[in-house]
Structure 1
Amino acid sequence: MRILLVEDDAETARYVIRGLREAGHVVDHAADGTQGLFLATTGGHDVLVVDRMVPGLDGLSLVRALRAARVAAPVLFLTARAGVGDRVEGLEAGGDDYLVKPFAFAELLARINALARRPPPREEVTVLRAGDLEMDLIRRTVTRAGRRIELQPREFRLLEYLLRHAGQVVTRTMLLEGVWDFHFDPKTSVVETHISRLRAKVDKGFDRELIHTVRGAGYAIRADG
C-alpha cells in the first residue's frame, strides 16, 4: 500500500514512517500542506494521513482542495484537536476517519488498513444521454442535437427518471413514486399528461422518437427505435 503522511512534527513523522514501512507499506512524507497537496494530486496514494495543523496549507483546507479536485483517496486525520466539533469539522471537510494524538500505532495501522479495504466510491454521473438527447445534471440543461429544450421542474425530473432507466420499461407506479413521491394511485392522468408534454418538447420536430409507450407495461426511453 502507498501512503502519504502530511505531518510537520519531525519526531511524530519518523515514528509513523518507521512503523508503516516495517508493516510493508511505501510511505511518502510532506512536512507542510502545500507540498502535501502536490504529492496527493500526483502520487496515486491509497490512503492519506493528514495532521490538521500543518504550515503552508492547513489540513482542512488541504482535504477540501483534494475533494474539489476529485481526489478520492481516503483521508485519516491525525491531530491533537480532540473536540467533538473538531471531529465533525474534519469529517465534513472530506475526511474519512479521525484519530487523536497521542495515539497507539497499532490503532493507527488498523484504521489505515480499514480505510484501504473500503470499496472506491462510484464516480458521480453528471450527464445522462440517450441518442442525441443530453441532460446535464449540474447545469440543469437539456439539449437534443445541440438544440436547447426548456423544461418545467417536474418535466425535468420525469425525463431524468426515464434517462436513469434508459432502455428499461418503467411503469406508471414507478413514475408516481420516483417523480411525484406518491405511494398510492391518485386516480388521475398526471403521468400520462406529463409524458405527453414531455414528448412534445423532446420528440416533436426530430426524425426519431425517443420516448416510447410500451403497451400494457409503461414507458421507455431508448435511441434504437
Structure 2
Amino acid sequence: MKRLAEQEKKTKRWRPATWTWFWVLVLLVGLAPVIVLFAYTRSDIWSRWLKRNSENTGQPEIVVEPEAASYLVQYLFRYCDHSQTYADHLIPADAPLPPQGLIDLSQALLNSNFNLENFTADINVPDGWHLTDLSSEMKQPRFLLTLVQDLCPDCQGCFYLGLFNGYIAVYEGHPPQGKLVEITDFKVKDTDRESLENGVPFDTEEQKQLFLETYTS
C-alpha cells in the first residue's frame, strides 16, 4: 500500500508537466506552416535585395540631368520674318551676343527671390535689348533676352525697287518685305505697277539707275 501511494504521488507530480509539453507540441505543430512561410519569404526578399545590390555595387548609377537653359535669346526683326530664338548655349557664332550685364542680372535674379519688376527702374538696358521675365509662364528658362533690329543678317545689304504711295521707292531686304530707304520722284506707270509691287532686286548702283531709266522712260 505504501508503494502504491508513492507511485500515485509521483504520477500526480509529473501530470502537469506532461500536459505542458503536450500543449507546447500542439502549438509548435500549428505554427510550423507559418514559421516556414515567414522564413521562405524573408529569404526570398533578402536574396533579391542582394542580387540587385550586387549589380549596382560594381557600377554605381549615375543620373545625368538634361542641361536646362538658364535663359533664352530671341532675335526679332521689324522688316522681315526671320526671327529666331535660341537657348543660351546654342547661340550661332555670327549672332550678336547678349550684353554681359543682362546675363549677370538674369542669373542673379534666377538664384534669388526677387522679381524683375523690383529692378526695372534701375536697369540700364543697352539699345535694342529687352529683358523679359518668363516665370509666370514656365519654370525653366526664366528669362528671355530679346534683341530687336530692323533686318536679319541675311536681308541686310540686299536692295530692291518697290512702291510707296504711288512712287517708285528703294527698299533694303528681300521683296516683298523690306525697310524703306528712299522715295524717288518718279511716279509709277500702270504698266509697271505689278512688277514693282512684287519687287525688283538689284545688286549695284548702276543696275538701280538702269531699272529707274527703264521705268521712267
Return the TM-score normalized by structure 1. 0.24
Per residue, is there more helix in 1 or in 2?
Answer: 2
Larger Rg: 2
Q: 1 or 2 for the larger relative contact order (CA 8 Å, sep ≥6)?
A: 2
